[in-house]
Amino acid sequence: MFDRFHASPPAIHEQSISLVNDVRMELSTNSNSAAGSDSQTASFTQIDSNMVCPICLGPTSYPLETNCGHIFCGQCFITYWRMGRWTSAVSCPSCRQRVTLLLFCFSHDPSDTSAEKTEVVSSVASYNRRFSGQLSVYEYLQDLPILLRHFFNDFFTIGGLLWVIRVRILVCILLTLFYILLPSDILPESVFGFLGIVDDFFVVLLLLIHITVLYRSILADRLTW
């Protein structure tokens, strides 16, 4: 899944190069923010130890994934945000898509109380609360693959989601399946043919959008990790 991070990180977009260079200088002069050091990566488990941060060009430390699917060190991305337009959602350094949500790519470990993790988690909570809402329909559709992947990972992980949320989603899925299989839905395939299939497609699409909107609200309210 993350093979694209093994050989080399994604290229930095030309419009982001200047700010990224400033971030690299800031990180290099701040020992507490030195991304990718052994002392920082020893206390957590990330999805893939071979991931490389496009900003610091080192192994990712407390990695975050943007809603556009690019992965950065937590500290690197937070610094990039604060040194740029910190009052608004930033554009991804790699693809320039508007970053409206940050997702954790390291394991949940309550025993890890390092200062770096605390700052990353706190900053992510602040970022998601401020910028995860008021999206266009196109942005919701654009973010479906990334959010659904993280959602189903949390859904099947013990402690990932509250049981009431799991039950709510299961009910929605069952109702959707019931509607699709029901012979007498609004546009039955036996009568309307292709239009009936399109009708079912939009029902499934609405279900997926509902799941990601709900998941966004959960992440926006998540204050700890």
Q: Is the pTM of this model over 0.85?
A: no
Q: Spell out the per-residue pLDDT of the chain, length 225, in tens.
A: 444 444 467 889 999 999 999 999 998 877 544 444 444 444 555 555 578 999 999 999 999 999 999 999 999 999 999 998 778 899 999 999 999 999 999 887 778 888 999 999 999 999 999 998 878 889 999 999 999 999 998 888 877 788 888 899 999 999 998 888 876 666 665 555 667 678 888 889 999 999 999 999 988 887 665
CATH class of the domain at 3-132: alpha beta
List, as one string, the DSSP characters of the chain: --GGGTSSPPPPPTTTHHHHHHHHHHHHT-GGG-TT-HHHHTT--BS-TT-B-TTT-SB-SSEEEETTS-EEEHHHHHHHHHHS-TTSPPBPTTT--B---EEE-B---TT---HHHHHHHHHHHHHHHHHSSS--HHHHHHTHHHHHHHHHHHHTSTTTS-HHHHHHHHHHHHHHHHHHH-TTSSS-HHHHTHHHHHHHHHHHHHHHHHHHHHHHHHHHH----
Sequence spans of domains, the chain: 3-132, 142-221
